[in-house]
Amino acid sequence: MKITEFIKKELQGWKPIEMIGLTIVLVFILINTFVLKDNPAAITNAICGILYTIIAGKGKISCYLFGLTGSVCYIYLSFINSLWGNMLLYLLYYIPMQILGIFKWKKHLKKESNEIAKIKLNINQRFKLCIIGFLGCIISIIILQYFNDKSPIIDGITTFLSILGMYLTVKRAIEQWVVWMIVNGLSLLMWLNLVINGTKAYSTILMWGVYFILAIYFYIQWEKELKKI
């Protein structure tokens, strides 16, 4: 496939509400840049992260290009704020999984739209996922408390659930959006607390808030598409 044809297919299927919403969010991020003098890494991470989430929600493989760029910025932000769980998660898991996701998604693209084919887990798979998620969160919290993490409970839960979320993203399962709702909501609270205590990362707060809304939006969109199958 030629590059021009690939780009054309990647830009197909955008709804007016998605374009308007993205424009509004980007404007707010730019305001943070000039008015609040936000951290450049936080701004880049927010822009790439939001683009990644929207494009991933639309089932387009190009999402991983923005995901990888945003991950590098988030690793830096987590490092300077001593969020070791989030830092290691992105460094040792997110980046390798996103690279894997490129190859996995490439095998399941619809020729007519260049979008991935979505799936839904069965009841047994969902039950196993819940058990693994609960036990994993407990272990993560204990480990982070030992290393004096600033937010061990929230960081522990978001760290492990993000592992499950990324796995489900690569797997193309709709259940990923339920996991991301929890992760994004808790991450929003964690970064809000950091900003209140002096950290300059306003765009990161905006990013997690948008993530939370997008997780709900794309769960609904994927559910509608899966019902047609």
Pairwise CA distance, residues 36 & 178, whole Å:
32
The confidence band for 5, taking pLDDT boundaries of 50, 70 and 90, is: low
Structure tokens at 164: 């499950």
Domain spans in the chain, listed from the N-terminal domain onward:
3-227
Q: Please tell me the predicted confidence (pLDDT) of residue 23.
A: 87
Contact assessment for residue 105 and residue 116, using Cβ atoms and an 8 Å cutoff: yes
Q: Please tell me the predicted confidence (pLDDT) of residue 170.
A: 92
Residue with tokens 């887990």: 121
Pairwise CA distance, residues 111 & 1, whole Å:
11
Average pLDDT, the chain: 86
**pLDDT higher than threshold 70 for residue 6:** no
Pairwise CA distance, residues 120 & 99, whole Å:
23
Beta strands in 93-194 (DSSP E): none
pLDDT tens, position by position, 9-20: 666 777 888 888
Nearest CA-CA partner of 120 in 223, 220, 224: 223
Pairwise CA distance, residues 46 & 204, whole Å:
6
**pLDDT higher than threshold 80 for residue 85:** no
Q: Please tell me the predicted confidence (pLDDT) of residue 132.
A: 95
What's the number of CA atoms in the CB half-sphere (13 Å) around residue 110? 11
Pairwise CA distance, residues 225 & 229, whole Å:
7
Q: What does the pLDDT average to over 58-73?
A: 91
Pairwise CA distance, residues 152 & 159, whole Å:
10
The most confident of the ranges 80-84, 189-193, 217-221 is 217-221
Residue with tokens 């760290």: 159
pLDDT tens, position by position, 108-163: 888 777 789 999 999 999 999 999 999 999 999 998 888 887 778 888 898 899 88
Least confident of 5-19, 56-70, 98-112, 164-178: 5-19
Q: Please tell me the predicted confidence (pLDDT) of residue 112.
A: 74
Pairwise CA distance, residues 229 & 216, whole Å:
21
Nearest CA-CA partner of 133 in 169, 160, 153, 111: 160
31 burial level (CB within 10 Å; 0-12, 13-18, 19+):
middle
The confidence band for 78, taking pLDDT boundaries of 50, 70 and 90, is: confident
